[in-house]
Structure formats: C-alpha cells, structure tokens
C-alpha cells in the first residue's frame, strides 16, 4: 500500500569515537563510519513504526541500500529523517536521509519486516542449539 502521506520521524545523534573510522591514519580526523550511519537509520526507522505494531511484535531490518555522501567528524550531530513510504503486509519500506550540521551526509532505502518476538527468539535459540560445540563457519 503506497502511503498518501509518508509517516516521518526525525532523530538526532552525536558522532562518538566508538562509531568512527580510525584506519585512515593519525593525520585524518576520525569520522562517522558507514556501519554507524546504517545503525542510526535502522534505529530511527524501527522507532518510526513501533506504534503501528501489535503487542509482542517488533521489526527487523531485511535490506539497506545506502549512499554515504560525506564524512562527519566525531562530536558533530547528525539528524536522521526516516519516511515510511510503503507497507505491504508485514513489510515496511522507508526512504531515509541524514544531515550533519553542514550538509547532507547520507541517503538510503531501507526495508523492515514485522516479526513475533517470541517466534524470532525461538529461531535464534534453535540455531544456537544446533550449533552447540561447533565453531562458526
């Protein structure tokens, strides 16, 4: 179902050292990593639709296509804007943008699906049990 008016949520985060890239050398100021940006986009999108879910449900990310457009140094704020643009059954699609205090730094399409938390937890436990004593592949 294509939405007539997208459901929009904005959240602001601060770039911290634990989410920064450090591998470029000491002469380069640490900046927000792409995995950190994806994390914020997912968290904002998850929160965007939380009130639409039934009790005992949550959502999990199933796809992200991201463009990380510009670096953001540690200490700077990033505003993430999540727009729910489509719902098909249990599948929620988002257009997400991110802006630091200077410019647009990222854009993505993101898809989440609703799950029963109990069933999802059971699947994880079953996998862990099947793999007991085995090393990760």
Counting the structural domains of the chain, the total is: 1
- Which positions ≥6 away from 133 have C-beta within 8 Å? none
Pairing of strands 2-14, 77-88: antiparallel
Give the torsion sign (CA, 87, 114, 9, 109): negative
Residue 89 placed within a domain: yes
* 3-state secondary structure at position 37: helix
In terms of residues, how long is the chain? 137
**This model's pTM is above 0.85:** yes
> Is 108 among the domain residues?
yes
Q: Which domain holds residue 58?
A: 2-130
With 0-12 CB in 10 A as exposed, 13-18 as middle and 19+ as buried, what is 131? exposed
Query: Could you give phi then psi for residue 20, rounded to 5 degrees?
Result: -100, 155
5 CA to centre of own chain: 22
The number of beta carbons lying within 10 Å of the beta carbon of residue 41 is 26
The answer as to whether 102 is a domain residue is yes
- CATH number, domain of 7, equals 3.10.129.10
pLDDT tens for the chain, 137 residues: list them. 656 677 999 999 999 999 999 888 888 899 999 999 999 999 999 999 999 999 999 999 999 999 999 999 999 999 999 999 999 999 999 999 999 999 999 999 999 999 999 999 999 888 888 877 676 65
């Amino acid at each position: 179902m294509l939405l007539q008016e997208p459901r929009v949520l904005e959240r602001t985060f601060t770039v911290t050292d634990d989410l920064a890239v450090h591998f470029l050398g000491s002469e380069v100021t640490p900046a927000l990593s792409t995995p950190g940006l994806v994390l914020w986009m997912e968290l904002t999108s998850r929160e965007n639709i939380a009130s639409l879910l039934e009790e005992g449900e949550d959502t999990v990310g199933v796809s992200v296509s991201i463009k990380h457009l510009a670096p953001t140094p540690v200490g700077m704020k990033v505003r993430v804007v999540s727009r729910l643009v489509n719902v098909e059954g249990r599948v929620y699609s988002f257009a997400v943008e991110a802006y630091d205090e200077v410019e647009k730094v990222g854009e993505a399409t993101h898809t989440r699906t609703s799950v029963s938390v109990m069933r999802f937890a059971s699947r994880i436990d079953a996998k862990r049990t099947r793999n007991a004593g085995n090393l990760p592949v």
